[in-house]
Every structure is written in C-alpha cells, then in structure tokens.
Amino acid sequence: MTFIEDRRKIRTLALLFCVVTFTTFLFSYTFRDPSLYFFKYAFRLSDNLFSKGPCACRRCVAEAEDDPWFAERFNQSVHPLMTRENSVLSDETFKWWQWLQSERQPANFTEVVEELFRVIPDEVLYMDAGPKRCRTCAVVGNSGNLKGARYGGLIDSCDVIIRMNQAPTTGFEEDVGARTTHHVMYPESAMDLDNTTSLVLIPFKTLDLQWIISALTTGTIKHTYTPVMSRIKANKDKVLIYNPTFFKYTYESWLEGHGRYPSTGFLSLMLAVHICDEVTVFGFGADQNGNWHHYWEDNSLAGAFRHTGVHDGDREYNVTLQLADKHKIQMFRGR
C-alpha cells in the first residue's frame, strides 16, 4: 500500500469517525429515544427539493383530500386570528360568543375593536401557505405526562412553540423545552411574558378585549368575574387576538357542540392545525398511571382540570387522537 493510499484511508476513517461522533452526540443530546423523528428532520431538505404538495414538509396538515373525516371539518378560509377586516361578527356568532360567559351590559363591540387595533398591530399573519413553506409547530400542553419525558430538545427545535395559561418552563427545560413563540391565555389565566413571545388572547366577552387594552396601557381594569392582573408585561407589537368566528367554528366543526366551549388546549391545537404545516403535540392526556394533573403540580391534584363543567375533555381528547391516527398531527405521550 502506497503512502498516498494510506493518507486516503486515514482521511476516510477520520471522516467516518466525525460523522458517527456527531450523530451520536445529536441523538444523546436531543432525544431520549434516538428513533424519535431524527430521520424526519435529517432528510427534510431532500424532501423539500422534490415536494409537489401544498407545503414543503414531508407531510402537510392541509392535505385534506386524503381523508374525508378531516376534509369535512377543516376549513382554511376561517382565519384563527382577528384583524379589523375579519372582526365583523355575524349576529349568530356574536350572540353565541356573548353567551359563553353571560356578560352583562357589554360595551359597544365595534368601538372596542377600533380602540384595540390602535394599541396592537392590525396585521394578517400566517397566510403564506404554499409549496415552499414548511412551518413546524409544537403545541405543548400542561399534562403531568411531561415529567421525565425529556422532550425539551425536540420541542425547542420547532419553528413555532405554543404554550398556554400558567405553564412555566423555568426548572422544567429538559422535559418541556425553554423556547416559547406563542403563549395562549385569557384574562383570568394571564401571566407576564418576555419581549420575544407573542401573547395570544382568547376573548370570551367584550370585556376581555377591553382588559387587554387596559393591561397594556392604563391598568384600570382589575376585575372580570374574578380579580385579574391589571397590567401585564408583554410586547404589545406581538399581541394577537383569537378570532371569535374561529372559536365558534372550532366548537361546531370539530367538537360538534360538545361541552359549553372548547378548552384552551384544544383551541391552541386548532390554531396550530390551521397555521402550521407539521404539528407535534406534547403534554396532552393522562400520565402512564392514568393521572390527570399539571406537570408542575403534585399527583394529589390528579383530575383537577379534566372535569371543569364547561369542557368535554373526553371528546376533545378523542378528536386529538383521531387527528394523530390520521397522521394530521404527531402525538408524543410522555410518561
């Protein structure tokens, strides 16, 4: 064997060693189970080059024609987020929305919306779907099945990361991740956010729209049906409003009228299904022992948030399982 051949062999072995070392590191750092979707992300680039579907991902949520059950429910023309243009509600939608929390003597809705969009941006977002886009989204629920699941790296690798209500990340990063791009809340579940996170408000009544205006400016509203934060730390240029029309569409098309209204978790899932191309779901359902509790809580509180009297938790979970079974979302069930 010549000296040149020796050098080539050494270079080949060195390259192979680097590839194996890097791959092993990536596996051990990012995933507890190396099989979890590594190849999906590893080959995304090659998939994009040959994509002829409605998006550039390996599988696109919006491919409704491949499943009659999904096609019957999925309506991409109903936009999840409110703008001035789509804020005009039908009489039927307005009556249903106002009925949710039975607000007495509500303010003039049109005037409140006009004031709202003088405080926050009036932008049409996430309408850029097409064969060149691959927007990956993680919807992170609050279930105790996230404890010890070590999904943090996988969650943080997504483009959009949606969390909800009082969910903390500090101290739980290994299991739930550290990044948040969108935090879904309503006035009674509000919390302070950093400057890079979009606050997504779910309004149940006109007063909720007045609250977000107040919470970002004067701080005069301190009570809805319960005491609420009078001011909130959030980037007002990144505040988004869940559209009441989309709210009603979710309730009727996806839950078929079960429960009084959908939970924050299910509304967050539907937001992702309509603005994302690939959706992964974490922290939904019970843990491996059948307990229902939040990942930051003690197991003794099991079941505390499953039966609230307003949500049909079983129906919501069954629809979520159907979406997973039909490969519209990917569910990670934790521990």
Q: Quickly tell me which residue has 């243009």 as its tokens.
A: 85
Place of tokens 């039975």: 102
Residue tagged active-site, from 261, 274, 293, 295: 261
Residue ranges of alpha helices (H) inside the chain are 3-30, 38-42, 44-49, 68-73, 91-99, 109-119, 152-156, 173-176, 206-216, 244-249, 264-275, 313-325
pLDDT in tens, 151-186: 999 999 999 999 999 999 999 999 999 999 999 999
Q: Taking a C-beta distance cutoff of 8 angstroms, is the pair 264, 283 a contact?
A: no
Per the annotation, the verdict on 79 as an active-site residue is no
The residue annotated as part of the active site, out of 182, 183, 293, 311, is 311
d(Cα 330, Cα 57) in Å, to the nearest integer? Answer: 14
Strands (E), 234-300: 240-241, 278-282
* Among 301, 317, 302, CA closest to 262: 317
Q: Which residues are known binding-site members for substrate?
A: 101, 142, 165, 225, 261, 265, 285, 294, 311
CB distance 162 to 140 below 8 Å: yes
Binding residues: 101, 142, 165, 225, 261, 265, 285, 294, 311
pTM as predicted? 0.83
Active site residue 261: yes
Q: How many other CB atoms sit within 10 Å of the CB of residue 299?
A: 12
Q: pLDDT truncated to tens, each residue of the chain (335 aa)?
A: 444 444 444 455 555 544 444 444 444 444 444 344 444 444 444 444 444 678 999 999 998 777 999 999 999 999 999 999 999 999 999 999 999 999 889 999 999 999 999 999 999 999 999 999 999 999 999 999 999 999 999 999 999 999 999 999 999 999 999 999 999 999 999 999 999 999 999 999 999 999 999 999 999 999 999 999 999 999 999 999 999 999 999 999 999 999 999 999 999 999 999 999 999 999 998 787 788 789 998 765 544 445 456 889 899 999 999 999 999 999 999 88
Looking at residue 260, its amino acid is R
Q: CB 14: neighbour CB atoms within 10 A?
A: 10
Kindly report the CATH number that applies to the domain delimited by 50-332.
3.90.1480.20
